[in-house]
């Protein structure tokens, strides 16, 4: 789950990472009121779950409350890379002397959290990594040992931070960021820019914070930060129904049982010259309830033109899945053509059940490749 900048900053604040004072606003009027309360120049910041807001015109300075109101009116409703701005963060404007970059993510290959730090912040970090890789300091933390003070010094000296005041503050921020990363079960904590003011004060001017969805049950306070209005309706529906759902951008809706099978189904659709619109993983299930839920989610996506139902029966029996499909079709009207491939335990019986009932729009194919070709053809 990705958090908005202001939510990430709230977590930063809790863990002792300095951030600027700010207020949330959803109307120009509220932005003005926020600016009055904060006093002095503010920065009006679009809250969207994507980066590059500055370049897209989503971040503007305002010297007076009137100006904040005006800037808010300009930014609200703006479409930033497909994300419409509905919330603003009004923050006390900072003076900028230097901009650094700091992040922690998981390096799955190394199975360890990875710190990245560079004094060349403010710009796209991918650019720094490409143009001057030596300027980007990388450091792994052994999750059992935790973050050690010598590691803070290594990062700071590695990035060439010479000012003792900055060194001290950054050492503390590094420790706090690691605590936030672990304490919130984060997958990413990024501060870009980590700001140094002309007075030498170091603070987080931006936040990118991603929390592991699977750990949200441990963090109800973070879980409730989710903005359901901003999520696609299919995703909200899928979450409600506890269906694993991923949106893609082709035209074939995919239903499978098990992550491995679903992944290979995506490949086979590509092999057949098509593109998946989305996929649902039924997991070990295949009962009517699960099938109805998944079909509801899949068909609510306008881009879907055909559905590929790919089941390999193991513990899940294909005859049960076949009955589930028929029950589901009895309970809901689906206009899309559905291509079914059943294999594994009781596959023959399952195919026979479907053949006997032969509901309209349902095509049973013997192999995964045949079924994929059919689904792609029907999506055209
Ligand atoms: P992003 O574009 O989505 O990464 O948004 P950021 O929060 O990182 O802001 C982008 C840029 O706007 C920063 O790198 C700063 O240069 C500028 N900016 C943001 N807040 C302030 C501020 O308080 N004062 C000044 N002078 N510039 C700011
Ligand atoms: Mn930024």
DSSP 3-state assignment of 44? strand
156 Cα: distance to centroid of ligand 2 (angstroms): 20
Neighbouring-strand partners of residue 114:
105, 140
Residue owning the nearest CA to atom 10 of ligand 1: 54
356 Cα: distance to centroid of ligand 1 (angstroms): 64
Q: Which residues line ligand 1 (CB under 6 A)?
A: 43, 51-54, 59, 93-94, 96, 99, 122, 192-193, 205-206
* Homologous superfamily (CATH) for 21-92: ATP-grasp fold, A domain (3.30.1490.20)
pLDDT given for residue 308 in this prediction: 96
Rounded CA-CA distance 189/19 in Å is 14
Q: Is there a catalytic annotation at residue 190?
A: yes
Q: What's 16's DSSP letter? A: T
Residue owning the nearest CA to atom 7 of ligand 1: 206
- With respect to CATH, is domain 231-379 assigned 3.20.20.70? no
Alpha carbon of residue 204 to chain centroid: 21
| Active-site entry in 10, 166, 190, 365 | 190
Reference 203, options 29, 48, 18, 366; nearest CA is: 18
The radius of gyration of the chain's CA atoms, rounded to the nearest angstrom, is 26
Over residues 184-230, the pLDDT tens digits come to 999 999 999 999 999 999 999 999 999 999 999 999 999 999 987 77
Q: Are strands 338-344 and 186-196 parallel, antiparallel or unpaired?
A: unpaired
Q: What's the maximum distance between 2 C-alpha atoms anywhere in the chain?
A: 80
Does 98-223 match 231-379 in CATH topology?
A: no
Q: Where are the domains of the chain?
A: 21-92, 98-223, 231-379
Q: Do 238 and 291 contact (CB within 8 A), yes or no?
A: no
pLDDT (tens, 9 = 90+) of the chain, 380 residues, equals 999 999 999 999 999 999 999 999 999 999 999 999 999 999 999 999 988 899 999 999 999 999 999 999 999 999 998 889 999 999 999 999 999 999 999 999 999 999 999 998 877 788 888 888 888 999 999 999 999 999 999 999 999 999 999 999 999 999 999 999 999 999 999 999 999 999 999 999 999 999 999 999 999 999 999 987 777 778 888 888 878 888 888 999 999 988 899 999 999 999 999 999 999 988 766 677 888 888 888 988 889 999 999 999 888 889 988 988 898 888 888 889 999 999 999 999 999 999 999 888 899 998 999 999 999 999 99
Ligand 1 atom nearest residue 99's Cα: 14
98 Cα: distance to centroid of ligand 1 (angstroms): 12
Overall fold of domain 98-223 = D-amino Acid Aminotransferase; Chain A, domain 1 (3.30.470)
258 Cα: distance to centroid of ligand 2 (angstroms): 37
Ligand 1 atom nearest residue 91's Cα: 23
Over residues 262-312, the pLDDT tens digits come to 999 999 999 999 999 999 988 766 677 888 888 888 988 889 999 999 999
Q: Do 312 and 257 contact (CB within 8 A), yes or no?
A: yes
Ligand 1 atom nearest residue 43's Cα: 23
Find the angle CA(282)-CA(284)-CA(290) to the nearest 5 degrees. Answer: 40
Whether pTM > 0.85 for this model: the answer is no
Provide the b/e sequence for 138-169 (b: ≥16 CB within 10 Å).
Answer: ebebeeeeebeeebbeebbebbebeeeebbeb
Name the helix (H) or strand (E) containing 312: strand 306-313
Provide the b/e sequence for 213-238 (b: ≥16 CB within 10 Å).
Answer: eeebeebeebeebbeeebeeebbebb
pLDDT given for residue 209 in this prediction: 98
- Indicate which ligand has the atom closest to the C-alpha of 96: 1
Q: Is there a catalytic annotation at residue 6?
A: no
């Amino acid at each position: 789950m990705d958090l908005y900048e202001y939510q990430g900053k709230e977590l930063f604040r809790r863990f002792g990472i300095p951030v600027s004072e700010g207020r949330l606003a959803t109307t120009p009027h509220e932005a003005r009121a926020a600016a009055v309360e904060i006093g002095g120049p503010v920065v009006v910041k679009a809250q969207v779950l994507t980066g590059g807001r500055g370049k897209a015109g989503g971040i503007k300075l305002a010297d007076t409350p009137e100006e904040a109101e005006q800037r808010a009116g300009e930014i609200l409703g703006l479409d930033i890379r497909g994300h419409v701005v509905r919330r603003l963060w009004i923050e006390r404007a900072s003076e900028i002397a230097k901009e650094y970059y700091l992040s922690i993510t998981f390096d799955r290959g190394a199975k360890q959290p990875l710190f990245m730090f560079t004094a060349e912040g403010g710009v796209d970090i991918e650019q720094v990594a490409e143009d001057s890789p030596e300027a980007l300091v990388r450091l792994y933390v052994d999750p059992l040992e935790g973050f050690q003070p010598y590691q803070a010094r290594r990062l700071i000296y590695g990035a060439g931070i010479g000012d003792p005041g900055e060194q001290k503050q950054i050492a503390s921020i590094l420790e706090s960021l690691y605590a936030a990363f672990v304490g919130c079960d984060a997958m990413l904590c990024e501060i870009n820019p980590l700001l140094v003011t002309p007075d030498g004060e170091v603070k987080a001017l931006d936040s990118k914070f991603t929390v592991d969805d699977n750990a949200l049950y441990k963090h109800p306070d973070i879980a409730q930060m989710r903005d359901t209005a901003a999520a696609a309706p299919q995703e909200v529906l899928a979450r409600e129904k506890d269906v694993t759902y991923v949106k893609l951008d082709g035209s074939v809706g995919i239903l499978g049982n098990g992550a491995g099978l679903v992944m290979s189904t995506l490949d086979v659709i590509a092999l057949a010259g098509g593109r998946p619109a989305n996929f649902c993983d039924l997991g070990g299930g295949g009962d009517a309830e699960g099938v109805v839920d998944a079909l509801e989610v899949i068909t609510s996506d306008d881009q879907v033109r055909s559905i590929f139902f790919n089941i390999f029966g193991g513990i899940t029996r294909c005859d049960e899945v076949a009955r589930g499909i028929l029950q589901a079709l009895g309970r809901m009207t689906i206009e899309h053509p559905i291509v079914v491939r059943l294999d594994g335990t009781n596959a023959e019986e399952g195919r026979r059940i479907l053949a006997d009932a032969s509901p309209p729009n349902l095509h049973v194919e013997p192999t995964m490749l045949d079924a994929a070709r059919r689904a792609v053809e029907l999506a055209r």
